[in-house]
Amino acid sequence: MATDAFNKPEVDMPKQTPEERIRNFFEVAKGYTSEMAVEEAERCLQCKNPQCRKGCPVDIDIPAFIKLIKEGKFVEAAWKIKETNVLPAICGRVCPQENQCQKFCILGIRGDPISIGRLERYAADYERNHGVDIPEISPDTGHKVAVVGAGPAGLTVAAELGKKGHHVEVFEALHVAGGVLMYGIPEFRLPKAIVQAEVQYIEKLGVDIHLDSMVGKLYTVQELFNDGFKAIFIGSGAGLPNFLRLSGENLSGIYSANEFLIRTNLMKAYRFPEYDTPLNIGKSVAVIGGGNVAMDSARCALRLGAEKAYIIYRRGMSELPARHEEVENAEEEGVIFTLLNNPTRFIGDGRGNVKEVELVRMELGEPDDSGRRRPQAVPGSEWKLPVDTVVVAIGQSPNPIIQQTTKGLEVTRHGTIITDEATAATKLEGVYAGGDVATGAATVISAMGAGKTAAASIHEYLNGK
């Protein structure tokens, strides 16, 4: 039996072909059918001491939900996941499973690990398509909690505390809830209707969401306390784009990845002129960076009509920080990987538009603090790549506005809010923080993990009141 499981490969998930999908923004991966889900679930060894759970930042009872799928109890499987994860349809799509749960799966030692993410997605999609029930909500505690930012961390805190009977109000600066799930991750990787379905589910738990409400500008943290909120969670994310600080970087046609993705995803520039927000794409697009955001940008560029989309990364293929599946998708779609190259300056056309990016070849030297081999420029190896558009995807920092307007909040030199990792508590009583604003740019699931931690601490704190 065990031998069979080790020999049987994972069940592939159907995808749009690369030729088809680079012409649309529909989801690339189509998801399992029920037969595929059951077949994949049957491979699970149901370990007594499941290693996979160790890799899950929100501690989903993975073998239990997989067993329910195997038995055809799909709604029950979704409920099992939702005991610890309020956004399963999202995590099933965007979690880096290969570095988390699936990395520890015993089957992975000699074959393919169980496709936990695909099964999670299947269960969540099944439940959503068959009508979502609202879990039992504890009696009203009379406590008001404010959540700043409706991204993965904030939504998790809101859902957890809403279920426990606290009155939660979420303050979101943008015109829609979801944070990076809406403005950052493209439609073809995470359909926005799914994000909004999850947001509606959270609203059904009694959570109020205020849009267009930038805390730090419209209300300060102190004013929220004055208004009767007993605890505040800050999950304002890492919204401030980093630039390279190279000559010519303010030429037109050079975008931060944030701007490029906000225009594309949040403002739906791919539907211009039906939607009003435009995006100049041109024929040749260079994306600087090697993370998920860079892959998303390059893949959006192709879909927006670019003939060539380059990934410019200073290290090699095996050092790319992006999720494996996204690199593979990008390669299939024809993204050109220009690795071991680093930009040195941008050259304009004399009318204020970028025309070329100058690159220098790199080689890998000794390992640095992060354990990765340090890239070094090869002297005299500069060359020029003609471009119409450049997307700078080298990371984001926390938006500083809340930190600047909240007295007593301690902040690192990177602008992240200092918290106690075990409780998510900041140095200010009643104020908690988590997600990218505390860790710097990371993943959806780690933000949700921090949200769970914060929700537990806030619940305990309020009970002591």
Residues that bind another protein (CB under 8 A): 173-175, 183, 211-214, 217-219, 239-241, 243, 245, 249-250, 252-253, 255-256, 258-259, 262-263, 267-268, 272-278, 280, 351-352, 399-401
Give the integer Cα–Cα distance in Å for 225 and 66: 43
Residue 267 Cβ, how far from another protein at the closest point, in Å?
Answer: 7
Residue 398 CA to chain centroid, in angstroms?
15
Nearer to another protein, 101 or 354 (CB): 354
Residue 196 Cβ, how far from another protein at the closest point, in Å?
Answer: 13
Token pair recorded at residue 1: 């039996």
Residue 176 Cβ, how far from another protein at the closest point, in Å?
Answer: 9
Give the integer Cα–Cα distance in Å for 162 and 208: 10
Strand order, beta sheet including 167-171:
208-210, 167-171, 144-148, 231-234, 431-433
Give the integer Cα–Cα distance in Å for 456 and 59: 14
Nearer to another protein, 258 or 329 (CB): 258
Residue type, 277: T
- What does the chain come to in residues? 465
Q: Are the beta carbons of 424 and 450 closer than 8 angstroms?
A: yes
398: closest CA among 447, 424, 426, 436? Answer: 436
Token pair recorded at residue 438: 């505390």
H runs (alpha helix) in 396-435: 401-405
Sort strands 341-348 and 240-241 into parallel, antiparallel or unpaired.
unpaired
Nearer to another protein, 280 or 412 (CB): 280
Residue 438 Cβ, how far from another protein at the closest point, in Å?
Answer: 18
Residue 291 Cβ, how far from another protein at the closest point, in Å?
Answer: 17
Q: Is 268 exposed, middle or buried (0-12, 13-18, 19+ CB in 10 A)?
A: middle
Nearer to another protein, 79 or 183 (CB): 183
Nearer to another protein, 65 or 255 (CB): 255
Residue 48 Cβ, how far from another protein at the closest point, in Å?
Answer: 47
Nearer to another protein, 275 or 383 (CB): 275
Q: How far is CA 47 from CA 41, 52, 78, 100, 189, in A?
A: 13, 9, 20, 17, 31
Nearer to another protein, 279 or 362 (CB): 279
Residue 390 Cβ, how far from another protein at the closest point, in Å?
Answer: 12
Residue 435 Cβ, how far from another protein at the closest point, in Å?
Answer: 15
Residue 248 Cβ, how far from another protein at the closest point, in Å?
Answer: 11
Please report, for the chain, how many H helices and E strands are present, in that order: 18, 16
List strand residue ranges (DSSP E) for 68-140, in order: none
Q: Which helix (H) or strand (E) holds 385?
A: strand 383-386
Nearer to another protein, 193 or 218 (CB): 218
Q: How far is CA 219 from CA 216, 341, 391, in A?
A: 6, 45, 33
Nearer to another protein, 179 or 375 (CB): 179
Q: 212: how many CB neighbours lie within 10 A of its CB?
A: 11
Residue 395 Cβ, how far from another protein at the closest point, in Å?
Answer: 13
Nearer to another protein, 88 or 398 (CB): 398
